[in-house]
Chains A and B, each alone.
Chain A
Amino acid sequence: MNTEAIIVENITRGYGGPPVLQGLDFRVSRGSIYGFLGRNGSGKTTALKTLAGLIRPESGSVRVLGGDPWTFGAGERQRVGYVSEKQSLPPLGRVAKLVKFCAQLYPAWDHELCDGLLNRFQIPLKSRVAKLSLGQQRLLAFVLALAPRPDVLLLDEPAANLDVVARREFLDQILELIRDGKKSVLFSTHILSDVERVADRVGILSDGKLVVDESLDDLKESVRQLRFFGFQGPPPAEIPGALRVRRDKNELMAVLRLNGPDAPAQIAARLGCQVEDNPLSLEDLFIELTRNSR
């Protein structure tokens, strides 16, 4: 069995103007949760729509569970759940009808899970979709994607409009889904704490390609904020390879991607100064890595 649930190889895609995705490349392993980050307009939704088979890449290839999602039929689609950024559920239908419609399409539909989640998220079955709050509509879309227990779950900004409690329960459900080690989740979000809480790998999209694709621990380990101080003379204007350098009197504050644990000391020795190593939060990391991009 292939250990990769999603393989994206060098895909390019635009909408008539400059390309939104340019050479996007990443893989999502089975049993993992991949957090997809990026600024507005960085191409997250386009990438997810490509994976959901709603659009095709102009070049490169996309494989979800070994197949091209553009050509997926009902059988393959049973194994892929998708919640779009602007999930437009039929507004005038009642929740019960919507659930019934979806349940009949999926032989593996987990009625117990579905009823339990609707109950927990306090989504009334008799209500029309339009009467639900935006957060409830989002949760309903999530329940409909989760109830077939898909092998791959694609979520585009799933936590938008959710209150703190609902978001926590939603994240718990994601963790629950992958407990068997065979299922995979790819989700895009702007809520970095969600990524820190559940994702075991993170991709940061910038200008249509990934500037980061590694485990969260590795990322935090490799991108550090270093304070260089105690220079013999005036500190240098630049530090080669630094993502950002800020001068403060006789000190330099730099964000660097490091090669190993000894790298800070080696740089300090080269510059003839002392160094203090400060870890960065994911939010700080994200800002540093995407500051000058879209």
Chain B
Amino acid sequence: MKPLQQFFALLRFQAFASPGIWIFPVAFSFGPCISLMSGDTWWGLSLPLSSSTMLFMIPMMIAAFVFIPELWTGMTGANQQAQQNLQGCSADFLLTRAVDRPVVFRARATLYWILILLSAVILLALASRKPSVSMEVPLKPPGAGMVYLETLPGAFVAKATESTETIFLPAGRLAIAGTLVLLSIACSAFWQGFVFAISGLKFKRWIFFAAVIGVSCSPFVLLAGGNHFLENLVFLILKHPVAAVGLTGIFVAAAWAFSAARAKRIEYP
């Protein structure tokens, strides 16, 4: 069978062999969609970014399910059937069929990115239905609203009171959704590289779950430190969109190349 035919056969098979993975894009976009679409007026970016942890965490889970389903083998607390369900298409089965190893990787990676991009499309499609939003910004400290006026195209001050001003952002919601999508793509590339980096290690399951716990705790750590890292990152992306897209593209390509090289060498003991 030619590699292209193998690729489509593997992609089709993996996409439907474990239908549960299609829940991920919905789960992935659900939280960010709710927070992004709620309200016509925002008081800063806290609300639209409140569910952004999902953007970091769910690609990590998708990456583990798609690329290293063997991670769930022998998992404490799961019976054989549950483990089997989690494993989906394990390497034991797929790599011992009449397929080329690189084609298996390409099919898995394509499925992964379909799942990631599907959630991105859901987010962007919803945001494009109601792209505008108003931002109520306090007048103190002075110039607090400038960042919106400078970074979001078409932004203007619609109303000002003694203590606040209301900035209308004609494509504000869509722009924020776009930056979240870009960040989620960068995160997804990172997790793709991460699971391949740990996949040959003896304690990969522990490393993976430690990373899950770490990511789950990250919002609390950031809140405790009063950190506006994510907001600043969003503004930076909005300020330099072309560079951000370019860098994300390079990052995705690098993660793909790294994982393709690792996939050739990974053993399945």
Residues of A within 8 A of B (CB): 15-16, 46, 49, 52-56, 73-75, 77-78, 80, 82, 84, 86-93, 97-98, 101-102, 104-107, 130, 134, 148
Whether A97 contacts B267 in the complex (CB less than 8 A), given A53-B96, A74-B100, A88-B90, comes out as: no
Contact of B89 among A49, A52, A77, A90 (CB under 8 A): A90
State how many angstroms separate the Cβ of B196 from the closest Cβ of chain A: 17
Bound complex: CA A98 to CA B18 (Å): 12
CB <8 Å contact, B17 and A93 = yes
Tell me the dominant secondary structure on chain A's binding face. loop
In the A-B complex, the 6 residue pairs with the smallest Cβ-Cβ separation, listed nearest first, are: A90-B17, A88-B90, A82-B96, A78-B98, A54-B268, A55-B267
The count of A-to-B residue pairs whose CB atoms sit within 8 angstroms is 98
18 contacts between A and B (CB under 8 A): A52-B96, A53-B95, A54-B96, A55-B268, A74-B3, A77-B98, A84-B92, A87-B92, A88-B84, A88-B87, A90-B17, A90-B88, A91-B81, A97-B17, A101-B9, A101-B12, A105-B1, A106-B98
B93 at the interface (CB under 8 A from A): yes
State how many angstroms separate the Cβ of B187 from the closest Cβ of chain A: 28
Residues of B within 8 A of A77 (CB): 96-99
State how many angstroms separate the Cβ of A64 from the closest Cβ of chain B: 12
Residues of A within 8 A of B85 (CB): 91-92, 130
CB <8 Å contact, A54 and B92 = yes
CB <8 Å contact, B93 and A88 = yes
Contact of B97 among A15, A46, A102 (CB under 8 A): A102
Residues of B within 8 A of A (CB): 1, 3, 5-6, 9, 12-13, 16-20, 73, 80-81, 84-85, 87-93, 95-101, 103, 202, 267-269
CB <8 Å contact, A46 and B87 = no
State how many angstroms separate the Cβ of A13 from the closest Cβ of chain B: 9
Contact of A107 among B1, B16, B202 (CB under 8 A): B1
Residues of B within 8 A of A75 (CB): 98
Query: For A16, A53, A86, which residue has the most chain B Cβ atoms within 10 angstroms?
Result: A86
Closest to B96 in A: A82
Closest to B103 in A: A74
